[in-house]
Amino acid sequence: MIDSRIRNIVIVGGGTAGWMAAAAFAKVLGADYSIRLVESEEIGTVGVGEGTVPHLKLFNNLLGIDDVEFVKNTQGTFKLGVQFNDWGRLGDSYVHGFGTIGHDVGLLPFHQYWIKARQMGRAADIGAYSLNTVAAPRGRFMPSATDAPPGSPLANVAYAYHFDAGRYARYLRGYAEQRGVCRTEGKVAQTVLHPDSGFVEAIVLESGEQIDGELFIDCSGFRGLLIEQALHTGYLDFSHWLPCDRALAVACEKVGPPTPYTRASARPAGWQWRIPLQHRTGNGYVYSSAHVSDDEATATLLGHLDGKPIGEPRLLRFTTGVRRQAWNRNVVALGLAGGFMEPLESTSIYMIQSGIARLLNLFPQRDFSPVLIERYNAQSRFEYEHIRDFLILHYHATERDDTPFWNQCRTMSIPPQLIDNIRLFRDSGRFFRDGEEMFAVVSWVQVMLGQHIVPQNYHPLVDQMPDAELAEFMASVGHVVTSCVDAMPPHQAFIDRCCRASALVA
């Protein structure tokens, strides 16, 4: 039989996307495959501090990377969720926490019972019933406790990370090179296409070296050297709904213990992130250039830092959207080369991870079956569009009309599916997750309630629980959550005890 397996994989671009791909391919595909990564030290990477979602634990587990080792090597901290300030109204603050809210009863989610109890005046804000949303502002953290009784919130603590993306990429580089990945320093000067099929046959570096391949992974960032510049794939622009098109990023000196959450504070023409690491804090202002100048945005960012800035703010220009095909011919785009969802819910690294997993599940042979490519692209588009709608929700579900930017977001048209989701939730608190979309029901519920989309009614089955029992149920859940948070150590104390980075970490 003819061996039709792909043997030669070329990754163009390093950074987080390139080295995540290299590490995963080396681990899963093994020594039978030649994996070569081409990058240039002269080309910078995006990111001064990254937030993630809990899915990254699965990726690290696949590679066999220990939590403690990971956090130490990346100067990382832990993340229980995102605190949103001034989004629905000026003065608002709520936490979109990972994990669960309360616990479900029968067929109904907890928040259905909360709606009725709230209408009765017998319930606190929804955040009072989630371990993460109570622990985060109190600065408490611990991973799941192996000795916690079944059903205890401490038995299953959902968390993600804040970390230095540059350190993560360097760590993964070492991991990948130890497993046979070959790194080549250089800039791509030319892409060689097959005259008939249009497939990429090779890349030519500025040095003149030609690197042949069968499968090419484009991790070249916004430039999209292969997917766009060579294959002219096209781009779907989402900026009608997500109008921010620039970001300024700067680190500042650490002030006080790191918070176990990302902070996203609404500003006059966008929002500002704050991501605490062990040794410094990452900050950025994501904004619309149609509503504020770069100089004004810089002043706003620098005026809201906790500590002294480290260096000058770096300006990033982007158009939120996605390639029309993430996989075109024999090129698969990962990271910024494949699309960009602004960092509001920390989905960028998740999308890299998801793209890698999808490619491994649909890994082709040398014939590059169009059936596999079509499924990959359909799933990729599905994921981007559903994340897009969740991000739009944050902007559109606002009562703010104090600046032109927020008035535009409040009054803009939104995708039909998002309209339906908001209408259904406002009617009776119901939400149905669409297949394998990234964000679960609890995420949508927290953001909609946090930004004043209040259900007018609740599911009629809630009335099967007597009112007195309902009040007792809510009080019990709130008490359990508070007691569990009281038992958690301070975030800084946990880091100091378990995963403090060595002063020798570069």
Q: What is the pLDDT of residues 46-69, one digit of tens each?
A: 555 589 999 999 999 999 999 999
* pLDDT of 430 higher than 70: yes
Token digits of residue 230: 């060579």
Adjacent-strand bridge partners of 266: 271
The whole-number pLDDT of residue 1 equals 64
Alpha-carbon dihedral sign for residues 444, 446, 451, 454: positive
Rounded Cα–Cα distance for residues 484 and 128 (Å): 12
Taking the CA atoms of the chain, what radius of gyration do you get in angstroms? 24
Per residue in 284-315, pLDDT (tens digit) is: 999 999 999 999 999 999 999 999 999 999 99
The whole-number pLDDT of residue 99 equals 95
Mean residue pLDDT of the chain comes to 95
- The residue from 27, 57, 72, 79 that is catalytic is 79
* pLDDT of 44 higher than 70: no
Question: Residue 202 class from Cβ within 10 Å (0-12 exposed, 13-18 middle, 19+ buried)?
Answer: middle
**Which three-class secondary structure state does DSSP give residue 345?**
helix
Rounded Cα–Cα distance for residues 382 and 180 (Å): 34
Asked whether the beta carbons of 58 and 484 are under 8 A apart, the reply is no
* pLDDT of 429 higher than 70: yes
Where residue 170 falls among pLDDT bands split at 50, 70, 90?
A: very high
The whole-number pLDDT of residue 31 equals 86
What integer is the mean pLDDT of 254-268? 97
Asked whether the beta carbons of 76 and 277 are under 8 A apart, the reply is yes
Token digits of residue 4: 């039709």
Q: What are phi and psi of 425, to 5 degrees?
A: -70, -40
Query: If you search the block for the tokens 């007597």, which residue do you land on?
Result: 466
Asked whether the beta carbons of 326 and 235 are under 8 A apart, the reply is no
Asked whether the beta carbons of 37 and 469 are under 8 A apart, the reply is no
- The residue type of 461 is L
Told to judge if 79 belongs to the known catalytic residues of this protein, a careful annotator would answer yes
CA neighbours closer than 13 Å in the CB half-sphere of residue 412: 23
Rounded Cα–Cα distance for residues 263 and 276 (Å): 9
Query: 284 vs 303, 307, 337, 349, 351, CA distance in Å?
Result: 12, 14, 21, 17, 20
The whole-number pLDDT of residue 46 equals 54
> Strands 34-39 and 182-185, how do they pair?
parallel
Total Cβ atoms within 10 A of residue 467 = 12
What integer is the mean pLDDT of 420-437? 96
CA neighbours closer than 13 Å in the CB half-sphere of residue 293: 3
> In what side-by-side order are the strands of the sheet with 331-333?
182-185, 34-39, 8-12, 215-218, 331-333, 327-328
Alpha-carbon dihedral sign for residues 485, 491, 493, 499: positive
Rounded Cα–Cα distance for residues 411 and 417 (Å): 17
Asked whether the beta carbons of 228 and 235 are under 8 A apart, the reply is yes
* pLDDT of 264 higher than 60: yes
* pLDDT of 210 higher than 50: yes
DSSP string, 4-27: -B--EEEEE--HHHHHHHHHHHHH
Asked whether the beta carbons of 340 and 222 are under 8 A apart, the reply is yes
Where residue 212 falls among pLDDT bands split at 50, 70, 90?
A: very high
CA neighbours closer than 13 Å in the CB half-sphere of residue 483: 9
What integer is the mean pLDDT of 245-252? 96
Rounded Cα–Cα distance for residues 304 and 347 (Å): 24
* pLDDT of 327 higher than 90: yes
Where residue 506 falls among pLDDT bands split at 50, 70, 90?
A: very low
Considering only CA atoms, which of 31, 24, 11, 65 is closest in space to residue 357?
24
Rounded Cα–Cα distance for residues 426 and 166 (Å): 42
What is the percent of the chain with per-residue pLDDT over 70, rounded to a whole number? 98
Total Cβ atoms within 10 A of residue 147 = 7
What is the percent of the chain with per-residue pLDDT over 90, rounded to a whole number? 93
Per residue in 453-465, pLDDT (tens digit) is: 999 999 999 999 9
Rounded Cα–Cα distance for residues 420 and 428 (Å): 13
What integer is the mean pLDDT of 244-270? 97
Note the residue count of the chain.
506
Considering only CA atoms, which of 19, 16, 68, 24 is closest in space to residue 174?
19
Alpha-carbon dihedral sign for residues 453, 457, 460, 462: positive
- The residue type of 193 is L
* pLDDT of 504 higher than 50: no
The whole-number pLDDT of residue 43 equals 65
SS3 content of the chain, % helix, strand, coil (to 5): 40, 20, 40
Asked whether the beta carbons of 340 and 286 are under 8 A apart, the reply is no
Write out 250-262 in H/E/C secondary structure.
EEEECCCCCCCCE
Asked whether the beta carbons of 399 and 89 are under 8 A apart, the reply is yes
